[in-house]
Amino acid sequence: MYDTIIVGAGLAGLQAATTLSAAGKDIVVLEARDRVGGRVENIALKDGRIVEMGGQWVSPGHERMHALIDAQGLQTVEPGGGDMVLRLGGKAKKIHVEQPAAQDDLSPFEFSDLGQALLRLRRLARKVTDNPTWAAANDRWLGQSLQQWQDVNLRTEGGRRYFARLVEKALGIHPEVTALEDALQRVSTGVDLESYVVTSGGVRQARVVGGLAQLTDEMARGLGDRIRLSTPVTRVEHAEGHVIVTCEGGDRFEGSSLVLTTPPRLLKTIDFEPDLPAERYDMADKIPAGNVIKA
């Protein structure tokens, strides 16, 4: 009988296994896929370059992730300058992304302030385009400068400075001399400002050199044959003083405790005896599955 059975070999499962194993516990990790890493995955191209298909960004606030990266002897690099191509509405636009400067660091509050303003600006641009009658009735208000609109809709100095630089570089306009209506037209036809912020390193995000999946691969290497791949769990039974886990194909594992690290929505793929509380299933239903596309 194992001390602990861990379901899932993503970052959470691998870290739990590493911690328990270091404490001398007898553990086993059951992973449904044929690889470790969960939502972290590297794909090697024919020329040897790596494309990260899953999670990749590490920010200054991720102290535990930085500690894991350091423990494995991996290095991080912050985004530099370069060219970015955005394809929107069938049209491709190439813009240059400059090396982020130190003053581009935004606090979480400033970044949230910036994000809310960009959302309001995009919605306003859509309203002007979709409702010309409203735009005509508010012609005088739309004639104010973008600077005036910016001062009302952004509450932080850091957010205002970033916004002004952003529209200048992405849209080629200066807020103090550009009418709000003219700016909205450029927003409707130009580059997506939110995408520009995310890819320009405004929150000083870093990547692991060679891909973040190196981290999970190294953690798995340290656990060796304690990890069982291609072993999806189908049933969990709580007996007196221990737990019995049954896998697809009939393999059974017994342990004193269970650590379940699967995404909440996957709870419905496992039979529990006794059944989980109804509110646990309700919570799982309300957490949407990830839906991210990278190019």
pLDDT at 205: 73
Is 273 or 93 the better-scoring residue by pLDDT?
273
What residues have CB less than 8 Å from 215, skipping those under 6 apart? 11, 40, 68, 69, 72, 74, 208
Q: Between 257 and 83, where is the model more confident? A: 257
List C-alpha distances in Å: 114 to 57, 63, 95, 134, 197. 20, 24, 21, 26, 10
Q: Which helix (H) or strand (E) holds 66?
A: helix 63-71
Percent of the chain at pLDDT > 90 equals 56
Helix (H) or strand (E) holding 167: helix 157-171
Angle subtended by helix axes 213-223 and 11-22, to nearest 10: 30
Task: For residue 286, name the pLDDT band (cuts at 50, 70, 90).
Answer: confident
The pLDDT, as a whole number, for residue 40 is 93
Residues in the chain: 295
Judging by beta carbons within 10 Å of its beta carbon (0-12, 13-18, 19+), is residue 268 exposed, middle or buried?
A: exposed
Closest CA to 199 of 119, 123, 95: 95
Please check the confidence at residue 102 and state whether its pLDDT lies above 60. no
58 close to 205: Cβ distance less than 8 angstroms: yes
Instruction: Give the other-Cβ count within 10 Å of 222's Cβ.
Output: 13
Name residues whose C-beta falls within 8 Å of residue 250's C-beta, 6 or more positions apart in sequence: none
Convert the pLDDT of each residue in 49-89 to its tens digit. Answer: 888 988 888 877 788 899 999 999 999 987 666 676 777 67
pLDDT of 284 reads 82
Q: Which two tokens stand for residue 211?
A: 């891909």
| pLDDT(158) > 50 | yes
- Supply the mean pLDDT for the chain: 87
**Is residue 90 predicted with pLDDT exceeding 90?**
no
Say if residue 171's pLDDT is above 70.
yes
pLDDT range class, residue 203, cuts 50, 70, 90: very low
CA pair distance 238, 217, nearest whole angstrom: 32
DSSP 8-state secondary structure symbol assigned to residue 175: G
Select the more confidently predicted residue: 200 or 207: 207
pTM assigned to the model: 0.64
Average pLDDT, stretch 21-42?
96
- pLDDT at residue 229, rounded to an integer: 98
Range name among 18-22, 78-82, 207-211 with the lowest pLDDT average? 78-82
Q: What is the pLDDT of residues 179-200, one digit of tens each?
A: 999 999 888 876 667 766 655 4
